[in-house]
Structure 1
């Protein structure tokens, strides 16, 4: 009888071979179809903390939606492109710059609806007024209300919103609701919200549910971050605000006195069909239900304004990073002034290059961020870019605590703007499903500039001299957070 024993030397050899195999496999697997910064971050994690790094890579290393969902998105994009190719979406403003037309074409090729003319838009910058304006709009509904929000909570601040839904549902209006699963589960009033939706007779579904025992699973930190409301296909709301109290009802926020500051836009005109198309595509993704027979998506009518608008959806269901490409294109197109408002500004190399190059071209560039952070990793990752931005000539305005400036917008020169749900960070570019609206019109940009001035009045400017006095411990934290931000 032969006895085989493993002494310490054999165990060391086995550990060495296993470790070497993991490292070689990581070099082959990790960089494939991944941005160099993300690949490098994952390789560093796997090399320095192998067990944890491999576990995290297996858990969240795939930044794309499951193949079935991506196939649905491709079908939706094809349907929208084919059926809207020759439709009239209003009269466009004359004399569009060539760069603007090329960006519209880019968006269209990546899955956006056509550029629509004859639209009216009204900005709403007051948090409670926005919730009440949406409730007022809901009460005018005659056929349907489509509600899609990253976070949806029934509480004292949103009671009017939910009461409006209950009123229209009671008189036979169809109420369809989508809310992100992971963002809402475990949050205050989650169960109460679902019960209230069920009691009113709303058709509601969770977006991107992580329910493996029900056969529903994807990377758990993929989110549907969109915020939109459509009423009868004639009026829509979209922007950065969730349907919840301005503290998000979280004890840690209430203890720190934090309140969110947001910006929504109410739109009328042909572009409402584009907002509705985003909702219907997400509804189809979650339910397999096609509503095109019930809703004539392309039956549009002129609004009370003269704005050209294009809706750009983005996210892991698309092949390319639609929002990043649009943002970078606008930064390079600017000739005089760029104002960016983003609560989470963690750019990739392309966006950082675009914004610093704009300064070097003599463009005035301003960035609005929050002085206070609500997410430690993102807050420190964002700070790691301040020195490069300040040295390039970017003016950084810090919205003073205890408020979180949560608006997401950009204005370019005097005629072009973007508003929507997308932050300028790697999460919004690669992991979140977002929606943005590109607008051409001097009157809209003037309104945006008034909102920006209001932010400026409540902000202080960060200078390079002040930043250079940062303690070493802050620099270390910022740099470490910057590395983790690339894990996609």
Structure 2
């Protein structure tokens, strides 16, 4: 009679029970591909999977932070009912835009407003100088929010302008992401400088477990925003740091970042400042006024809407926005994203639009500063190329870090969000939707410059890449689902 291997049997039973527990807890309110990836990790690598899920399994911020977001959203909605929701050229919108604008307002609380002017700023130092010049005109408030905020030779004009503002008695408030600051030099020097000049500084999403401040460590605030007196605002893709990001390996390779910022005047500035007010309240418990009136109400003819997103909301706001506009495109969509690891919703929307005859083009960098993301995003190219999507690889040694879409001839979306799973679900992001033929024409000029500096990727060339690269791309794609 064969002796029973009780140890082996017990291990098998334990693994089955563990798989059932994982299936129950991991799959709750989680996308199927993510749930399956976590289940496989826990079943085949139990210790790694359990520790990993304990650290990064939660997809939302703690309830107290989500409650703050909900409270400010309710205040904004009440304010909007008082007459702020207006668009100057609603009769010229494409027929699909009103329900999309309504969806954005339902999810993010901020309405489409008209009477705005905007200017694109494409070059790194020009963007920093434009922000500094506007800060020098401030008389009341300067609100600053950046994912990365480091004083160095390139950003010195910005910090000098903040110092001059403080000396004039302007109230300067500054936010930057807490965890990300630790990975860059001059972090403490930058914070000391802000304190010495009299600016009020707060880290965003601080990880301080001994003080009861803990959440999933890779839930970060990725927004980039400056508002001045409620009159002028800047937002886009720029982080306030030198364009080589002080990365030694990148400097050796000659890497530098290329951005796109947009400067606003008009009612949209008030909506952008509401995002800062929300984040300041989340970090300090101080709720700044939401109901002040800007000095300049109508400065242009562009309709615009701010769409904040991230783990403080109950929905993936930007994911729904991007999917909606791609599905509604009639003849052309141009997408720029440095990190392209799309949710299946976005991938399907692009393939479906291409099948409908929509001209889809995607601008990404030929190189990257992030190994895993670089290889994960390459795993999506073949399916897109087979569907007819044109992929342009922006030439080395530049990292094309701008984030924007243009849809048909009159809708543009510009901001901080990549089309990757992290930005779409895990990071706090900020995008602005604009309607206007002229702003799309401006963006098309930028995209034409990208095209000239890029190499068109063909399916034939892509299929010839070495087998080891294909394997690495596919393995990294699996890791992207662990969210």
- What is the TM-score normalised by the length of structure 2? 0.97
Matched with 1:179 is 176
Task: Tell whether the 8 Å contact from 2:222 to 2:427 is kept in structure 1 after alignment.
Answer: yes
SS of alignment partner, residue 223 of structure 1: coil
In the TM superposition, residue 347 of structure 1 has moved relative to its aligned partner by 1.2
Task: Tell whether the 8 Å contact from 1:276 to 1:297 is kept in structure 2 after alignment.
Answer: no
SS of alignment partner, residue 226 of structure 2: strand
Change (3 A) 1:299 1:305: closer
Matched with 2:472 is 477
Matched with 1:271 is 268
> Aligned equivalents of 1:304 and 1:258: distance in 2?
38
Matched with 1:138 is 135
Task: Tell whether the 8 Å contact from 2:231 to 2:294 is kept in structure 1 after alignment.
Answer: no
Matches within 5 A, 1:47-58: 47-58=43-54
In the TM superposition, residue 17 of structure 1 has moved relative to its aligned partner by 3.9
Matched with 2:68 is 72
In the TM superposition, residue 99 of structure 1 has moved relative to its aligned partner by 0.8
Task: Tell whether the 8 Å contact from 1:410 to 1:417 is kept in structure 2 after alignment.
Answer: yes
Matched with 1:385 is 380
Change (3 A) 1:367 1:186: closer
SS of alignment partner, residue 145 of structure 1: strand
Matched with 1:43 is 39
SS of alignment partner, residue 92 of structure 2: coil
Q: Higher mean Cα deviation, 186-195 or 98-107? A: 186-195
Matches within 5 A, 1:77-476: 77-88=73-84, 91-93=87-89, 94-292=91-289, 296-299=291-294, 301-476=296-471
Unaligned runs of at least 5 residues, structure 1:
1-7
| Cα-to-partner distance string for 1:33-83 (whole Å, 9 max, x where unaligned) | 100011011111111211101110011000110011111111111111112
Which stretches of structure 1, 4 residues or longer, exceed 2 Å deviation after superposition?
A: 8-21, 88-91, 295-304
SS of alignment partner, residue 145 of structure 2: strand
1:29 has 2:42 as partner? no
SS of alignment partner, residue 87 of structure 1: helix
In the TM superposition, residue 172 of structure 1 has moved relative to its aligned partner by 0.6
> Aligned equivalents of 1:300 and 1:35: distance in 2?
45
In the TM superposition, residue 106 of structure 1 has moved relative to its aligned partner by 0.2
Q: Higher mean Cα deviation, 70-79 or 309-318? A: 70-79
> Aligned equivalents of 1:179 and 1:95: distance in 2?
38
> Aligned equivalents of 1:466 and 1:186: distance in 2?
37
- What RMSD, in angstroms, separates the aligned Cα atoms of the two structures? 1.5
> Aligned equivalents of 2:47 and 2:441: distance in 1?
54
> Aligned equivalents of 2:221 and 2:131: distance in 1?
20
> Aligned equivalents of 1:367 and 1:112: distance in 2?
30
Q: Higher mean Cα deviation, 430-439 or 209-218? A: 209-218
Which of 53, 57, 63 is residue 61 of structure 1 equivalent to? 57
In the TM superposition, residue 21 of structure 1 has moved relative to its aligned partner by 2.4
Task: Tell whether the 8 Å contact from 1:226 to 1:434 is kept in structure 2 after alignment.
Answer: yes
> Aligned equivalents of 2:295 and 2:107: distance in 1?
23
> Aligned equivalents of 2:120 and 2:196: distance in 1?
32
In the TM superposition, residue 11 of structure 1 has moved relative to its aligned partner by 4.6
Task: Tell whether the 8 Å contact from 1:344 to 1:425 is kept in structure 2 after alignment.
Answer: yes
| Cα-to-partner distance string for 1:130-151 (whole Å, 9 max, x where unaligned) | 0111011111000010000000
| Cα-to-partner distance string for 1:355-377 (whole Å, 9 max, x where unaligned) | 01111111111000000011111
SS of alignment partner, residue 143 of structure 2: strand
Change (3 A) 1:423 1:313: same
Matched with 2:15 is 19
| Cα-to-partner distance string for 1:408-457 (whole Å, 9 max, x where unaligned) | 00000110000000000110111000000000000100000001111111
In the TM superposition, residue 105 of structure 1 has moved relative to its aligned partner by 0.3
> Aligned equivalents of 1:90 and 1:330: distance in 2?
21
Unaligned runs of at least 5 residues, structure 2:
none
SS of alignment partner, residue 450 of structure 2: helix
- What is the TM-score normalised by the length of structure 1? 0.96
Task: Tell whether the 8 Å contact from 2:79 to 2:291 is kept in structure 1 after alignment.
Answer: no
> Aligned equivalents of 1:384 and 1:194: distance in 2?
40
Task: Tell whether the 8 Å contact from 1:110 to 1:322 is kept in structure 2 after alignment.
Answer: yes
In the TM superposition, residue 185 of structure 1 has moved relative to its aligned partner by 1.2
